[in-house]
Amino acid sequence: MAVLVTGGAGYIGSHMVLALVDAGEEVVVLDNLSTGFRWAVHPRAHFYQGDVGDTGLVGNLIRQYGIDSVVHFAGSIIVPESVENPLKYYLNNTAKSRDLIEACVQSSVKHFIFSSTAAVYGMPETSPVTEDMDLKPISPYGTSKLMTEWMLRDTAAAHDLLYVALRYFNVAGADPGGRSGQSTRNATHLIKIACQTALGQREQMGIFGTDYNTPDGTGVRDYIHVTDLIAAHMAALQYLRGGGASLAANCGYGHGFSVREVIDTVEEVSGRPVNAVEEPRRAGDPAALVANSDMLKQHLRWTPRFDDLKQIVRHALAWEEALPEKTR
Ligand SMILES: NC(=O)c1ccc[n+]([C@@H]2O[C@H](COP(=O)([O-])OP(=O)(O)OC[C@H]3O[C@@H](n4cnc5c(N)ncnc54)[C@H](O)[C@@H]3O)[C@@H](O)[C@H]2O)c1
Ligand SMILES: O=c1ccn([C@@H]2O[C@H](COP(=O)(O)OP(=O)(O)O[C@H]3O[C@H](CO)[C@@H](O)[C@H](O)[C@H]3O)[C@@H](O)[C@H]2O)c(=O)[nH]1
């Protein structure tokens, strides 16, 4: 048995590869390196540079390695870009996921774990968000992911395929051992940007909106440590291999932090000031997005280990400091 990790050269996928290798699994990585890095892939994984939409290649890999489970991270992830170029997202996230799912069905892969997103909820009226709430994405990114969830639901009903769709809230932090982290160029994620500003890699950063209906007026998000997120994937793999039924589950801790709280924490942990200036709201940002994670805890028996913003920031900062060496 082996596991295929698509997007395994990316931020989150590279952490999945580490966890699988640590668990003694045989791992095959398929990544086109559009945003990922070859060096981010653990040397014990079999690496193939290619596209998830290449059904011939995927079918060959499944047969060659006896792959029983696919963990599908590959995709395009920038929400504003999806508004400007929706067809890129419907091709890379939806159409190519369809091709990948078809290759899995044709080659009798039994288990599929999918990177979904809190963006499938759009602008939820209440928070914390439960999985049964309305799914009303407000960006092509969110819609492209929801369509993939629906393809999985319908395919699982018609074929011998079981899936878990994990709806990530805000993923942050880095491997506690310093083996991987978020390396994306031009990243837009708050914690990475605040760390870069503290380290002097950016002159200043913006606080997007200070007039939200939140305790301090800035946006609130549920920041989950990447290592805990990967633990949820490992739990999902075990669950599916143990015969668990298909499901979709939120991935977050169930409490949020505001933009100002994040910046304050980065200043405290780094011991350096963060030059943050108030700016208007960013289009499409909900005021607060916090997960109800009971499903993950109850069905997948997930127990978080890094539910501590300071720890998340400490690991993100350590990675940011080490990154220039890695990319040299
Ligand atoms: N980072 C977050 O906060 C977040 C939140 C919700 C969901 N997600 C989802 O998690 C997944 C991983 O995100 P990430 O933050 O690691 O992003 P990332 O850009 O670091 O990783 C994506 C990887 O997929 C590869 N890829 C893209 N299109 C491909 C294709 N057609 N064929 C093969 N490889 C391809 C890229 O080269 C990259 O290595 C994505 O599906 C994303 O939508 C991320
Ligand atoms: O320079 C910055 C960057 C962000 N923010 C704010 O910080 C919060 C978090 O923003 P960001 O880190 O960009 O994450 P989100 O926009 O919440 O989106 C992330 O989380 C979603 C799920 O919740 C995923 O679907 C997306 O892929 C992922 O980028 C929001 O209130 C932003 O307005 C700032 O104020 N300044």
Mean pLDDT for the stretch of residues 122-130 = 91
Pairing of strands 205-208, 220-221: unpaired
Residue 195 has pLDDT above 80, yes or no: yes
ipTM of this complex? 0.97
Over residues 302-324, the mean pLDDT reads: 95
Q: Residue 36 maps to which CATH number?
A: 3.40.50.720
Are 233 and 281 within one domain? no
In a domain, 177, yes or no: no
Residues with CB under 6 A from ligand 2: 77, 79, 117-119, 169-170, 188-190, 193, 205-208, 219, 221, 259, 282, 285, 289
User: Within this chain, do residues 243 and 128 fall inside the same structural domain, yes or no?
Assistant: yes
Asked if residue 247 and residue 101 are part of one domain, the reply reads yes
The radius of gyration of the chain's CA atoms, rounded to the nearest angstrom, is: 19
| pLDDT given for residue 209 in this prediction | 98
81 and 148 assigned to the same domain: yes
pTM of the model: 0.97
Non-local (6+) Cβ contacts of 64 within 8 A are none
* Structural domain boundaries enclosing 286: 190-221+254-327
Rounded Cα distance between 322 and 317, Å, is 9
Both structure tokens of 26: 């045989």
Give me the pLDDT at residue 222, please: 98
Rounded to an integer, what distance in angstroms lies between the CA atom of residue 320 and that of residue 324?
8
Q: Which one of 231, 251, 271 terminates a domain?
A: 251
Nearest CA to ligand 2 atom 32: 208
Residue at which a domain ends, from 251, 268, 292: 251
Q: Find the mean pLDDT for residues 259-276.
A: 98
Ligand 1: which of 35, 42, 149 to mutate, judged by most atoms within 8 Å of the beta carbon?
A: 35
Same domain assignment for residues 18 and 128: yes
The 8-class DSSP code of residue 93 comes to I
Note the pLDDT tens digit of each residue in 42-53. 999 999 999 999
**CATH number, domain with residue 291:** 3.90.25.10
* Active site (annotated) includes residue 141: yes
Q: Mean pLDDT throughout 58-64?
A: 98
Question: pLDDT tens digits, residue range 203-212?
Answer: 999 999 999 9
Residue 326 has pLDDT above 80, yes or no: no
Question: In this structure, which ligand is nearest to the CA of 166?
Answer: 1
Residue 184 in any domain: the answer is no
Task: Please tell me the predicted confidence (pLDDT) of residue 328.
Answer: 54
Say whether both 313 and 234 belong to one domain.
no
Question: Which atom of ligand 2 lies nearest, measured to the CA of 189?
Answer: 12
